[in-house]
Amino acid sequence: MTALGLDLRRVYGAYPTGVAVVAGLVGGRPAGIAASSFVPVSLDPPLVSVCVAHTSTTWPLLRERPTIGISVLGAHQEHVGRRVGARDGDRFAGVEWRATEGGSVLVEGASAWFDCVVEQQVRSGDHDIVVFRVEDLDAAHDVPPLVFHASTFRSLR
């Protein structure tokens, strides 16, 4: 990585985001990644997006699924962000989750969730911008969100 690349990571990290879990059933088991790049895109049609690194080994499995779940983690779910965002180990160990009929995996107790299908995937540098069409969704505004800033999990409380 170039010196500029190192700086990009540090400076991109100054932009505070939430933490989403993008997940689905693969071979009957939950598979997923953590994503700080989740962004709502469009109201009509309802679209959201996530940027996925080309190095992801989980995304090629997930994108083949008919539906994919996106859960916006609550402040009480830092352990879920760490577990699902870890490179190794069972990412759903100790995580309460449920599967939809279509095979989306949603994290219980999240501050919002979306049941989605992949609409479009656009190559952009070393990531793909994945646009999802939202089929179902809900939010619990009484659950404060988990915040990710400067490589650190934070809470608004």
Least separation in angstroms between CB 99 and ligand FMN: 19
Residue nearest to ligand FMN (CB): 85
Least separation in angstroms between CB 18 and ligand FMN: 9
81 binds ligand FMN per the rule CB under 6 A: yes
Amino acid at the residue 144: P
148 binds ligand FMN per the rule CB under 6 A: yes
100 binds ligand FMN per the rule CB under 6 A: no
Cα–Cα dist 73/139, whole Å: 11
CB closer to ligand FMN out of 33 and 70:
33
The one segment of 53-61, 71-79, 112-120, 130-138 that binds ligand FMN by CB under 6 A? 53-61
